[in-house]
Chains A and B, each alone.
Chain A
Amino acid sequence: MADPKVVPIHGGSTASKGGSGDSGADMLAAGAARASGERAKRRRTPLLTDASGAEVAPRPLLSASDLSATSVHRPRPVPKSGRAPRRAKATRSSVTTARSQPVTTKTVEPPLATARVGAGVDDLVTFAIATLRRAAEASGLSGDDIERQVAATLAFVRRRLSGDYTVDDFGFDEDFTENAYLPLLRPLYQSWFRVEVRGIENIPSAGGALIVANHSGTVALDSLMTQVAVHDEHPAHRFLRMLGADLVFRTPIVGSVARKSGCTLAANPDAERLLASGELVGVWPEGFKGVGKPFSERYKLQRFGRGGFVAAALRTSVPIVPCSIVGAEEIYPILGNLKTVARLIGVPYIPVTPTFPLLGPLGLVPLPSKWIIEFGAPVDTAVLGRPAADDPMVVFDLTDRVRETIQQTLYSLLLQRRSVFF
Chain B
Amino acid sequence: MADVVLVTGVSRYLGGRFARLLTAEPSVERVIGIDVIPPPHDIGDAEFVRADIRNPMIARIITQAQVDTVVHMNVIATPLSAGGRVSQKEINVIGTMQLLAACQKAPSIRRLVVKSSAAVYGSSPRDPAMFAEDMGPKALPRAGFGKDSVEVEGYVRGFSRRRADVEISMLRLANIVGPGLRTGLTDYLSLPVVPIPLGYDARLQLIHENDALRGLLLATIGPPVGIVNVAADGMITVRQAARLGGRPTVPVPLSAGGLLGQFVKRAGLADFSADQMQYLAWGRGMDTTRMREVLCLEPEFTTRKAFEDFIAHAGSALPGTGVAAAVGGLAGSAAKVLTRSHSSRRND
Binding site for B on A (CB under 8 A): 6, 9, 48, 101-103, 121-122, 125-126, 128-129, 144, 147-148, 150-152, 154-155, 157-158, 160-171, 173, 246, 249-256, 259-260, 264-265, 267, 269-270, 273
Q: Which residues of B contact A144 (CB under 8 A)?
A: 342, 345
Q: Are A171 and B237 in contact (CB under 8 A)?
A: yes
Q: Which of A48, A101, A260 contacts B201 (CB 8 A)?
A: A260
**With A and B bound together, what is the CA distance between A154 and B244 in angstroms?**
18
Which A residues lie within 8 Å of B327 (CB)?
A: 161
Determine the chain B residues whose CB is within 8 A of the CB of A249 once the complex forms: 125-126, 282
Q: Offer 22 A-B interface pairs, CB within 8 angstroms, sorted by A.
A: A9-B341, A103-B340, A125-B333, A129-B341, A144-B342, A147-B342, A152-B335, A155-B335, A157-B331, A158-B331, A160-B243, A161-B331, A164-B244, A166-B234, A166-B304, A171-B201, A246-B126, A255-B125, A256-B200, A265-B129, A267-B128, A273-B130
State whether A129 touches B234 (Cβ < 8 A).
no
Give the nearest-CB partner of B126 in chain A. A246
Q: Say whether B125 contacts A250, CB under 8 Å.
A: yes
Interface size class of B (residues with CB under 8 A): 35 or more
Contact A167 B235 (CB under 8 A): yes
Q: Which residues of A contact B312 (CB under 8 A)?
A: none
Within 8 A of A (CB), among B226-247: 234-237, 239-245
Q: In the assembled complex, which residues on chain B have CB atoms less than 8 Å from the CB atom of A264? A: 129
Q: How many A-B residue pairs have CB under 8 A?
A: 139
Q: Which residues of A contact B237 (CB under 8 A)?
A: 167, 171, 173
Q: Footprint of A on B, CB under 8 Å? A: 125-130, 132, 135, 197-201, 203, 234-237, 239-245, 254, 282-283, 285, 304, 324, 327-328, 330-335, 337-342, 344-345
Cβ contacts under 8 Å, B254 to chain A: 252
B contact residues around A256 at 8 Å (CB): 199-201
Which residue of A is nearest B130, CB measured? A169
Q: Which residue of B lies closest to A132 (CB)?
A: B338
Centre residue among B200, B285, B327 by max chain A CB count within 10 A: B200
Task: Chain B residues near A102: list those with CB within 8 A.
Answer: 344
Query: Assuming A171-B237, A256-B199, is B126 touching A125 (CB within 8 A)?
Result: no
Question: Contact: A6 with B345, CB < 8 Å?
Answer: yes
A101 touches B338 (CB 8 A): no
CA distance A48 to B337 in the complex (A): 15
Q: For B198, what are the chain A residues with a Cβ–Cβ distance below 8 Å?
A: 252-253
**Closest Cβ–Cβ distance, residue B43 to chain A (whole Å):** 37
A253 CA to B254 CA, complexed, in Å = 12
Q: Is A162's CB under 8 angstroms from B243's CB?
A: yes
Chain A residues with CB under 8 Å of B324's CB are 161-162
Minimum C-beta distance from B193 to chain A (A)? 15
**Leading 3 A-B pairs by shortest Cβ distance:** A252-B199, A163-B243, A151-B338
Are B334 and A161 neighbours in the complex by a CB distance under 8 Å? no
Query: Do residues A158 and B332 form an inter-chain contact, with CB atoms below 8 A?
Result: yes
**Listed residue (A126, A164, A167, A250) with the most chain B CB atoms within 10 angstroms of its CB:** A167
